[in-house]
Structure 1
Amino acid sequence: MSDLTDGSDKPQKLPKHKEVDKAGVILTGAMQEFIKCGYAAASMDRIAVAAGVSKPTLYSYFRDKAGLFAALIQQMTQGDRKSRLLENDQLLQLPLRDSLKQIATVSLDKLSGKQPLFTLIRLIVGESGRFPALAQTFVRNGEKPMLEELSYLFANHPDVKVGDPEVLARCFHGSIVHYIILQEILHGRDILPMERDRFINGLIDLIVGSDRVPGADMGNG
């Protein structure tokens, strides 16, 4: 039976102050082991060796492999969320086009070239058939908060007159995720090239409506 079937996929709370460094060392070692062996074959014994810590030390921070992996997901996904996009409703004060451009630009800036996160995503997708809780933990910690923030923006921004806020959020965020998957994770940059500003402006045109000159982003060539 999988050790992800204990009814809880919530990451254990990381220690504070100096102990956070030790937790970080453990998570780094765990990431190396998960990449090397996959989730199923990785063991707490091997993770302890990879992290350079004793088994008692490892278990004092993380009680099992499932909790450790959940903490790793939390570290990877929340590292980009230290400053919440809509924390003070500041984007509600901007024109919707400007708000969406800021969100898309910041999102792509933070995601582009972030190989550790891409590696984690590949691992989660590859193991999701046997361990669906891995994928659910990623969705719960990474995708769900972002979609909730975007839904709040679309539900409360004065420029949004029609449309289901949750559907708009999924269309907008899903397009950004798809762009990253094609360009970065699936190495499709040379096969399906698209300049980033062209993508961002075109996406916002679809959401907000276009008042720009057709072909303006295509250049003069």
Structure 2
Amino acid sequence: MGTLPTPSTATQLKQEQILQGALTIFLQQGYEGTSMDRVASAAGVSKITIYKHFQDKEGLFTALIDWVTTQRFQIVFGALSLEDPPEVVLRRVATRLLDMLAVDEEYIAFLRLIIGESGRFPAIAQRFIQVLPKKVLRVLTRYFQAHPELKFTDPEAAARIFVGSLITYVMTQKLLHGQSIIPMQQDVLIDSVIDMIVRYPGPATDSGK
């Protein structure tokens, strides 16, 4: 006979069951249009069970942001060796991110949901920024700080330039359906951004002094 899951594992599985149902309904109905009744039906649980694990709809959506973004962060940064040289690390990060977003329509829809609701519910967007972009920037900033040969005067600014280039590509090509208007091959973008970062000559100096 198989062993029964431990209480902590059972709790985690139940929470993930609720979160998966919640994701379906939030993507269909938006934040304001989602009710706990619909989430309960989609998740196959009672409303009491949802409230047992998540205090209210805001708490549920906050947990959903954490759950969804943690999964995607692991896809990009999981098992990534930060001991490798910058050109290797940055290429892996950029390729993993853009390859994932090229096929992950659920996550693209989730990003559209957060952007669309950010005007009325800024705390939603702020939570997303806190748990994903800020985390990514922190990892890359520390990596750049550990590589003085890159000659960055501000490693955090360099991390923002790298991440911002990828975000702009995703925004224009995927989120805003701009592939046919301002097309660009993914490999061309990655090569160009990495070349700009890795071959940065350092701050200009006054040779006359």
Range class of TM-score, shorter chain: 0.7 to 0.9
Question: For the Cα contact (< 8 Å) 1:45–1:55, is it kept in 2?
Answer: yes
How much has 1:147 moved relative to structure 2? 0.5
Q: 1:106-156 CA distances to partner (integer Å, 9 max, x unpaired)?
A: 222233221111111111111111110000110111111001001111111
**Aligned AA for 1:122?**
R
Picking from 129, 132, 142, the partner of 2:122 is 132
Aligned pair in 2 of structure 1 residues 131, 199: CA closer, same or farther (>3 Å)? same
Match of 1:119 in 2: 109
Match of 1:21 in 2: 13
Identity of aligned residues (%): 43
Structure 2 Cα separation of the partners of residues 105 and 32 of structure 1: 28
**Aligned AA for 1:172?**
F
Structure 2 Cα separation of the partners of residues 162 and 19 of structure 1: 46
- The alignment partner of 2:72 has SS state of coil
Structure 2 Cα separation of the partners of residues 41 and 104 of structure 1: 35
Aligned pair in 2 of structure 1 residues 95, 55: CA closer, same or farther (>3 Å)? closer
User: Does residue 192 of structure 1 match 2:182?
Assistant: yes
Question: For the Cα contact (< 8 Å) 1:96–1:159, is it kept in 2?
Answer: no
TM-score (norm 2): 0.84
Structure 1 Cα separation of the partners of residues 169 and 132 of structure 2: 17
Which has the larger helix fraction? 2
Which 4+ residue blocks in structure 1 deviate beyond 4 angstroms? none
Question: For the Cα contact (< 8 Å) 2:75–2:96, is it kept in 1?
Answer: no
Structure 2 Cα separation of the partners of residues 202 and 71 of structure 1: 36
**Aligned AA for 2:194?**
I
Number of residues of Structure 1 aligned to a counterpart in Structure 2: 195
Structure 1 Cα separation of the partners of residues 55 and 152 of structure 2: 48
Question: For the Cα contact (< 8 Å) 2:90–2:194, is it kept in 1?
Answer: yes
TM-score (norm 1): 0.80
Aligned pair in 2 of structure 1 residues 159, 106: CA closer, same or farther (>3 Å)? farther
Unaligned runs of 5+ in 2: 1-6, 202-209
User: Does residue 73 of structure 1 match 2:61?
Assistant: no
Question: For the Cα contact (< 8 Å) 1:154–1:160, is it kept in 2?
Answer: yes
Structure 2 Cα separation of the partners of residues 199 and 23 of structure 1: 39
**Aligned AA for 2:20?**
T
- The alignment partner of 1:46 has SS state of helix
Structure 1 Cα separation of the partners of residues 126 and 96 of structure 2: 25
Question: For the Cα contact (< 8 Å) 2:141–2:156, is it kept in 1?
Answer: yes
Question: For the Cα contact (< 8 Å) 1:86–1:149, is it kept in 2?
Answer: no
Picking from 28, 32, 35, the partner of 1:36 is 28
Structure number with greater CO (CA < 8 Å, separation at least 6) is: 1
Picking from 158, 170, 182, the partner of 1:168 is 158
